[in-house]
Chain A
Amino acid sequence: MATLKELSTRAGKFSGGHRLCPGCGAGIITRQVLAAAKNPVVVGCATGCLEVSTTIYPYTAWNTSYIHNAFENAAATVSGVETAYRALKKRKKFGLEDTEFNFIAFGGDGGTYDIGFQSLSGAMERGHKMLYVCYDNGAYMNTGIQRSSATPLGANTTTSPAGKVIPGKTQYRKELTDIIAAHYIPYVAQASPSNWKDLTRKVEKALSIDGPSFINILSVCPRGWRTPEEKGLEIQRTAIDSCFWPLFEIENGVKYTVNYKPKTKRPIEEWLKPQGRFKHLFKPENKYLIEEEQKRVDNRWEMLLQRAGEI
C-alpha cells in the first residue's frame, strides 16, 4: 500500500473549494479514491451531489480529466472512454502507447442501484478495465432526500415519509454489492471512508486488475441522515461495528473475504439512534421494525462469514 506521504501528494487530483455540504461523505471518498490511484485518471461522474457540486461552470474541482454525461449512464460513458483508450493506444495515436491510465466512474446510489443499474451491469459484463465507485448515502439526496433501493428499512425520506399510518420505508435495501459480484467480475468490495486504510488498499487492488471492478462505499449525508456534520465518520463506524455495513471483498464472484470483524458486535440501535431519519422507529409501535432490521443484519453477517469460510 502507498505510504501516507505518497497519498498526500496525490490528494490534489480532487481539490477543495467545491460546494459539497459540510460533512458530506462523497468529497472524502472521492479524495481517498483518487489518492489511491498512481496513474493519470479519467473520471466519469453520474448526475448527483458529487457532480453538481464540483463542476459549476466555469470552475472545476477536478485536476484529472472528467466527464459528466447524464444520470443513468456513467458506466456506459466510461466504458466508451476506456474503449477509446484501447483503440487509440493500438493505433499509436496521441502518444498513448507509452501511457497507463485508470478509469473510474462515480455514482450515488440513485445513479447506481436504480436508474443507472442497467448501464452498470452492461459495462461490468463487457469486462471494461474500469473501477465503478458507488458512494451510497441511502437516498436521492441531490433532489431532496427521496427513497432509493439503497434506502434502509424504516428510513424517513421525502417519498417514504414517516406518517400517521406508514412508518417510513417499508422495504429492505437491496444488496447491490452481491448483485455486482454475481457478474463474476474480478473484484468487488464494500468499504467506508471511516476505515481509510481498508478503502485505499481496495482501490489499489481494484485498479491493479485487468478488468472491471466495483466498490460500494457507505457515504454519510448529514442532510438526509439528520446527523451532526462533525459526527459523520463516527456514525459510519457504528455501521461497521453493528455489521449493518460489513467490510468485505469478493474476487471472481466466489472468493469472499471479510476484512473486519468487530470484537463485540454492536446492536443495530447504536447505528439507528443518532440518525434523525430513524427517530420514529424508537416509538413503541414501531419497535418491531428495529427487531426486523436486527434480524436481517444478523442473517446477512452470518451468511457473509459462512461464504468467507469463517464459520
Chain B
Amino acid sequence: MGNRIALTGNEAVALAMKQIAPDVVAAYPITPQTEIVQIFSQFVADGDVDTEFVTVESEHSAMSAAVGASAAGARSMTATSSNGLELMFEIVNIASSLRLPIVMPIVNRTISGPINIHCDHSDVMAIRDSGWILLFGENAQNAYDNLLMANRIAEHQDVMLPVAVNLDGFIISHAVENIDIVANEDVRDFVGDYYPEKYLLDEEHPLTMGPVDLQDFLFEHKRQQIETLKIVPQIVQEISDEFAELTGRQYEFFEKYKLDDAEIAIVAIGSTAGTTKAAIDNLRERGLKVGLLSIRLYRPFPADAIVKALSHVKAIGVMDRSESYSNTGGPLFSDIRAAMYDAGETAKIINIIYGLGGRDITVKDLENVIGRVKEVQDSNQIAEKVIYYGVRE
C-alpha cells in the first residue's frame, strides 16, 4: 500500500530513484537539480539503496559513464539541469543512437548566458531533436509518476531509447506538495528487472558497440531509430494504462482541462499548466469558453492526437517558456502550427513567450494571456503572432 506524504519535487524524484534502485547512477550536481544528487547520495551512504553511485567530475562524464554502464548491461540513470545538460549534449545524442534505455530527470532551468539559475525550458528544448523520449508534468506528483514509468518505456523491447523526465526548476523541484507514494513492493513489481538482449559483459558473445558507420549504412540505422519513434506513443500509453491500474492515476499524451467544449485553447508545458487551470476556472465563471491542453509526451510529438483534441477550437495560444531564435516563435508553437496546418485546421494560433529566466507568471497573467487569445478569436485576425509576455519593452 502507498501513502501520502509532503515532498519537494526533488525529494520525490530522489525517492522514485531509490524505489527503482537502478544498478548504476552517475551524476554531477547543478542547481536546481543538486538536491537529487545529495539525497540519493545519502540513501546510498545509509544503505537504503544498493545502487552503485558514480560521483563523476562533470555532466559530460555523467552521461558518458551512464552510456558505458547501460551498454554493459546495467539499468543506469543520471539527472541534470541547464548548462549540465548542454555540456552532456554530445553524449545525449550518442545514448539514443546506441539505443541505450538510460533514464534522466531534467530539472528545467534556463541556459547561460547570461547565467541565471531559474526556470525556463531552454535546456530541454536544446535536446528536443536528439532522439530522446521527453516527458513533462505540471507538479511533483507528475514528475514522480513519470519517473516510475520511464524505465518501463525506455527498456521496452520494441523501444530501447532513453527517456528524460522534466520538472520545472524551483517551481516544482523546490516546492512542497502532498504526493501519493507507491509502495516499494509495488514499484518493484511494476518496474521489474532489466535484462537486455545484448550487453558488453556477455563473455560468450563479445559485442562491438559504437562502430564507425559510413555512407553505406548510417542512413539505415537512423531510419530504424525514426521508425521506432513512430510506435513509442502507443507503448507510452500501454504503460501509462498499466500504471493507472496500479495507482488510479491515469496519464495520456496530454491532459485536457475543460477543453471539450472550449472555443479558446491554451497549450502549455510544465508547471504553467497548473496556473492556467486556475485562470480558466476564473474565466469560465465569467462565461468564457476556454480550455487547456497540457503536453506530457513532447517527443515523439503526438501530432494527430493533439490536432484531434484542438480541432473544434477557434483560437489557440501556445505558451513557450523558451525561444528558438528563428523569428518564428518558440519550439512548441512551431510544432503545434505544423500539426494543425497539416490537418487543414483553420484555428488562429498565436505564441506567447513568457517566463524566461524564471520570471514569474501568475493566475492574473494567464487571464490576461487568455484575453489576448480572445481578441484573436473575436477579430478573427492575428495582430501579433508572437507575444513576449511580461517583459519590459
B residues in contact with A22, CB < 8 Å: none
Interface size on A, residues (CB 8 A): 48
**In contact, B91 and A87 (Cβ under 8 angstroms):** no
Asked if A208 is at the interface of the complex by the 8 Å CB criterion, the answer is no
* Smallest CB gap from A44: residue in B: B68
* Smallest CB gap from A67: residue in B: B209
Interchain CA distance A86-B201 in the complex, whole Å: 11
Asked if B52 is at the interface of the complex by the 8 Å CB criterion, the answer is yes
* Smallest CB gap from B65: residue in A: A80
**In contact, B71 and A67 (Cβ under 8 angstroms):** yes
Asked if B302 is at the interface of the complex by the 8 Å CB criterion, the answer is no
Query: Given A73-B61, A76-B65, A76-B68 in contact, is the A84-B208 Cβ separation under 8 Å?
Result: no
Asked if B94 is at the interface of the complex by the 8 Å CB criterion, the answer is yes
A residues in contact with B69, CB < 8 Å: 80-81, 83-84, 87
B residues in contact with A123, CB < 8 Å: 61
**In contact, B210 and A67 (Cβ under 8 angstroms):** yes
**A85-117 interface with B by 8 A CB criterion:** 85-88, 90-91, 93-94, 96, 99, 101
Interchain CA distance A102-B201 in the complex, whole Å: 10
**In contact, B57 and A122 (Cβ under 8 angstroms):** yes
Interface size on B, residues (CB 8 A): 45
A residues in contact with B68, CB < 8 Å: 44, 67, 69, 76-84
Q: A42-B72, A65-B200, A83-B24 are in contact. List 18 more A-B contacts (CB 8 A).
A: A40-B206, A55-B211, A58-B217, A60-B208, A67-B68, A67-B71, A68-B209, A69-B68, A69-B210, A70-B94, A73-B64, A77-B65, A80-B72, A85-B72, A88-B72, A91-B50, A118-B58, A118-B61
Interchain CA distance A70-B67 in the complex, whole Å: 11
A residues in contact with B23, CB < 8 Å: 84, 87-88, 91, 93
* Smallest CB gap from B58: residue in A: A118
A residues in contact with B55, CB < 8 Å: 126
Query: Given A118-B57, A122-B56 in contact, is the A84-B24 Cβ separation under 8 Å?
Result: yes
**In contact, B211 and A88 (Cβ under 8 angstroms):** no
* Smallest CB gap from A59: residue in B: B211
The 3 A-B residue pairs whose C-beta atoms are closest, nearest first, are A80-B68, A122-B57, A80-B65
**In contact, B201 and A88 (Cβ under 8 angstroms):** yes
Interchain CA distance A76-B56 in the complex, whole Å: 8
Distance of B95 from chain A, by nearest CB (Å): 9
A residues in contact with B199, CB < 8 Å: 94
* Smallest CB gap from B74: residue in A: A84
Distance of A165 from chain B, by nearest CB (Å): 37
* Between-chain CB contacts (< 8 Å), 21 pairs: A42-B201, A56-B212, A62-B206, A65-B200, A65-B201, A65-B209, A66-B206, A66-B207, A69-B210, A73-B60, A76-B56, A76-B60, A77-B64, A80-B26, A84-B23, A84-B68, A88-B74, A94-B201, A99-B201, A119-B58, A122-B61
